[in-house]
Amino acid sequence: PSHFCLETLLHTSCCICVLLPRVNKSCILGALCVMFVFPPTGPVVYVLDLADRLISKAGPFAAAGIMVGSIYWTAVTYGAVTVMQVVGHKEGLDVMERADPLFLLIGLPTIPVMLILGKMIRWEDYVLRLWFVWIGCPVPRIPAEASPLADHVSATRILCGALVFPTIATIVGKLMFSSVNSNLQRTILGGIAFVAIKGAFKVYFKQQQYLRQAHRKILNFPEQEEA
């Protein structure tokens, strides 16, 4: 058996406090060896203790599995709703009924993932840089780049914008391209129009911010006259 050794002398009460958690383990205090022996437990207590240990160890894994499963089925549901919204309710149901179930289980969850990844691409910055290079706009000095941690585009904004995008594309398509008969083509055109209009405003806004930052002046703070 493993031993718990102490080189210095201890009080009896202190020794009991130290050794009490060490069930069925011996201790050497100098030349004295002590061992605590508890009465045997019944089969019911043993089974309950074993079940409690198993539940304590399996609890975190079960919680992680439930969380992952919930996120997965939420993504599947969102993908199915998006297909019916973009293609049309009846057409979307027909497409999903004819499709392979394995393909649906793999393909539907990728819809929100692709939307989020597409939302993370900040193509407006590249367009703005190409715009400045093309027009040859003279900039007195290049403004300092903003820290990624201080960026206004937060994770919640990206998530909400990506998940709402199919609905916005459908609405814009119905308003601007009502003459198109196909629901899919109308939604695609609405999404392209929304992204283009929003991107134009965003590029203009960033251009003005860039110019204001580049043409800023540093002045001395006006001193207040003493009363």
Per-residue pLDDT of 138-162, as tens digits, reads 554 545 555 444 455 578 888 899 9
**What single string gives the DSSP state of each residue in 153-222?**
--HHHHHHHHHHHHHHHHHHHHHH-TT---HHHHHHHHHHHHHHHHHHHHHHHHHHHHHHHHT----PPP
pLDDT above 90 for 197: yes
Percent of the chain with pLDDT strictly greater than 90: 32
pLDDT above 60 for 14: no
Q: Which structural domain range is residue 17 located in?
A: 3-35
Residue 184 near residue 86 (C-beta atoms within 8 A): yes
Q: Return the H-helix or E-strand segment holding 105.
A: helix 101-120
Are 115 and 178 in a shared domain? no
Are 97 and 58 in a shared domain? yes
191 confidence band (pLDDT: 50, 70, 90):
very high
Are 195 and 181 in a shared domain? yes
The one-letter amino acid code at 4 reads F
Q: Locate 116 and state its tokens.
A: 């989020």
How many independent structural domains does the chain possess? 3
Are 116 and 128 in a shared domain? no
Are 63 and 92 in a shared domain? yes
> Quick check: is 98 in a domain?
yes
Q: Which tops the pLDDT comparison, 220 or 190?
A: 190
> Quick check: is 224 in a domain?
no
> Quick check: is 106 in a domain?
yes
Are 65 and 29 in a shared domain? no
Are 48 and 24 in a shared domain? no
Pairwise CA distance, residues 163 & 77, whole Å: 12
pLDDT above 90 for 89: no
pLDDT above 80 for 1: no
